[in-house]
Structure 1
Amino acid sequence: MTDILTTARTRVLDDGQGLDYHDLIEVLHLPDDRIPDLLALAHEVRVKWCGEEIEMEGIVSLKTGGCPEDCHFCSQSGLFESPVRSTKLDIAQLIEQARQTAKTGATEFCIVAAVKGPDENLLVQLEQAVEEIYANVDGIDVAVSVGILTPEQVNRLKAVGIHRYNHNLETARSYFPQVVTTHSWDERRETLMLIRDAGIEVCCGGILGMGESLEQRAEFAVQLRDLDPHEVPLNFLDPRPGTPFGGMEVMDGKDALRAVGMFRLAMPRTTLRFAGGRELTLGDLGLEQGLTGGINGVIVGNYLTTLGRPAERDLDDIGRLNLPIKVLSRSV
């Protein structure tokens, strides 16, 4: 029987084709002593098909808390007794956050709101904020994540120059009802199709370690690949007090690394971005293991409701690994 990494070297590294579902499951079952081999191959794949550059991104919450949805991992749901208070930022604060993000070397600044979808007031504020950021902050692209959209809302975001839209599928279609009940996986996918058809870059990933099976992790990777996203953010569950998933155990670090390698072998040409939970799941060596194991994007600084590593530490690690940081190519 051919070793799965030998198969991957030919199909993924040489030909640039992602592994199929059954092969991805086999990757997730690799023994611990094969993890270094998996990550080394994933790194080769990333460098060949994506290049050596690392893309940095900062995120900020425009509206925090009070969300009407019941995403079981999220402390921003108004349905759970989690210790997150509702807050909102004004445009001046968003501009300053974007300016500070640009100073870290990030080329992407993502504005996030805890909503099912934007109402007219939120959409108008977004339009104004994006225009002001582009007028006042050099060297940054603006991305947005504000939930489920209508075709008219997609067109308005495109008109103000939204570079990329984030809307995570969160998990495999078969497992989604165990994670969210107030809207469907298909509703999320419909928004992503609208975004893609409008010519806006699609950013879509999810959270690993929410109780899904290995088979469902492989299913999720295949379903994401079918969307042909520009970027896939990989989060690891950080159990939040007061949420239905607050009592779950943190994902095992070895399983997390197997998943990173698996996603790279599923999507050789996609930006895979380390996102929330990497510090808790993988510790201080997690960034180095990811960047030499298939990851080519990083969220720097804090997340929406949890703390990340200081951006300076991530930058030091990237510099120590002699990895170049992506420079914005858009004319400003």
Structure 2
Amino acid sequence: MNILDVAREKALENGQGLSQEELVQVLNVPDDQLEELADIAHQTRLKWCGPAVSVEGIISIKTGGCPEDCHFCSQSGLFESPVRAARLNIAELVEAAQKTAKTGATEFCIVAAVKSPDDNLLNQVGEAIAAINDAVDIEISVSLGTLTREQAQRLKDMGAQRYNHNLETSRSFFPQVVTTHTWEERKETLDFVREVGMEVCSGGIIGMGESVEQRAEFAYQLAQIDPCEVPMNFLDPRPGTPFQDYELVPLGEALRAVAAFRLAMPATTIRFAGGRELSLGDDGTEKGLLGGINAIIAGNYLTTLGKQIEKDIDMLGRIDLPIKAL
């Protein structure tokens, strides 16, 4: 049985994720089978997730000055990056959440560039969650780095519904991307998040020099963690970072990766995040939404510009995909 038939039977018909070895085959599908592969991934997404597209806005409460050395990230204080440390106040966060909700988005994520949150940051986030909940009807996610179990419980009690902590890449490739902490530390935070009853959000970045086999390993490892949501980024090489001279992920590779992630996780929300504008462009973004993706981050990202939210909303109307309602 060829890999397309396997994908059709396991993922589409039975909702069963493909094995790591099968995902390697998906990532190596020849060009003349890519359209068929994308259609299987899209039909899998429609059957197990429905047609609606979840739209999320994202904002950084603290930008830059991070002590970690994630080689892709311009927020690290260890690199000569043009990004400088800055903080937002509560009123600015509420205003951003209100603007996000007006576009039809149903989720808003508060992010901070830290290794882990201190008490002052947790207090500020708690105030922000309360103020946003008073002002607008929107689901609130948080991403504040590594957590203890007690910190996870505190965020849950504050009203955070979901916690994002990306594994970033496969376990075997992780030491080539980050040296100041381990893949296992990230996994432990996700375990704490799940234990206290918050939803787990974890994904990563395609195109950091990983092999096809490691890309399949990453998708399979995410599937074993079973997050409710997977942000899917494509490397946007940032000036001053160790990855600044890396090439962009070609469109065909990006679409194969989208299909592989969907076929690894048939019923999971998979969200286009950073880098999609560069690696996929408008045409590729539409193809991704018709090839396995069922969610997007709209507007700008943490340190890079995205597309205007209104343009993404127009695109969804053009390809006849509804926006998910609260």
Shorter-chain TM-score: which interval?
Answer: over 0.9
Residue 142 of structure 1 is matched in structure 2 by 140
Are 2:102 and 1:100 aligned? no
The letter for the 1-side match of 2:82 is P
How far, CA to CA, are the matches of 1:175 and 1:287 in structure 2?
Answer: 27
How far, CA to CA, are the matches of 2:318 and 2:195 in structure 1?
Answer: 40
The DSSP-based 3-state class of the residue aligned with 1:169 is: coil
Residue 11 of structure 1 is matched in structure 2 by 10
Note the 1:1-332 alignment, pairs <5 A: 2-138=1-137, 140-328=138-326
The DSSP-based 3-state class of the residue aligned with 1:59 is: strand
Residues paired across the two proteins, number:
326
The DSSP-based 3-state class of the residue aligned with 1:76 is: coil
The letter for the 2-side match of 1:105 is G
How far, CA to CA, are the matches of 1:152 and 1:11 in structure 2?
Answer: 39
The DSSP-based 3-state class of the residue aligned with 2:124 is: helix
User: 1:201-237: CA deviations, max 9, x gaps?
Assistant: 1100000000000000000011101111000010000
Alignment root-mean-square deviation, CA? 0.6
The letter for the 2-side match of 1:101 is T
How far, CA to CA, are the matches of 1:112 and 1:310 in structure 2?
Answer: 20
How far, CA to CA, are the matches of 2:301 and 2:55 in structure 1?
Answer: 13
Unaligned runs of 5+ in 2: none
Unaligned runs of 5+ in 1: none
The DSSP-based 3-state class of the residue aligned with 1:130 is: helix
How far, CA to CA, are the matches of 1:258 and 1:244 in structure 2?
Answer: 26
How far, CA to CA, are the matches of 1:147 and 1:170 in structure 2?
Answer: 12
User: 1:239-280: CA deviations, max 9, x gaps?
Assistant: 000000001111111101000001101000000000000000
**Residues 287, 314 of structure 1: 8 Å contact kept:** no
How far, CA to CA, are the matches of 2:274 and 2:125 in structure 1?
Answer: 24
| Deviation (angstroms), 1:151 | 1.1
The DSSP-based 3-state class of the residue aligned with 1:78 is: coil
| Deviation (angstroms), 1:302 | 0.3
The letter for the 1-side match of 2:102 is K
Aligned-pair identity (%): 64
User: 1:106-148: CA deviations, max 9, x gaps?
Assistant: 100000000000011000000111011001112x111000000
User: 1:164-191: CA deviations, max 9, x gaps?
Assistant: 1000000000000000000000000000
The DSSP-based 3-state class of the residue aligned with 1:144 is: strand
| Deviation (angstroms), 1:307 | 0.4
TM-score normalised by length of structure 2:
0.99
| Deviation (angstroms), 1:152 | 1.0
The letter for the 1-side match of 2:210 is E
| Deviation (angstroms), 1:286 | 2.2
How far, CA to CA, are the matches of 1:232 and 1:320 in structure 2?
Answer: 25
How far, CA to CA, are the matches of 1:10 and 1:42 in structure 2?
Answer: 12
How far, CA to CA, are the matches of 1:49 and 1:217 in structure 2?
Answer: 23
How far, CA to CA, are the matches of 2:114 and 2:100 in structure 1?
Answer: 23
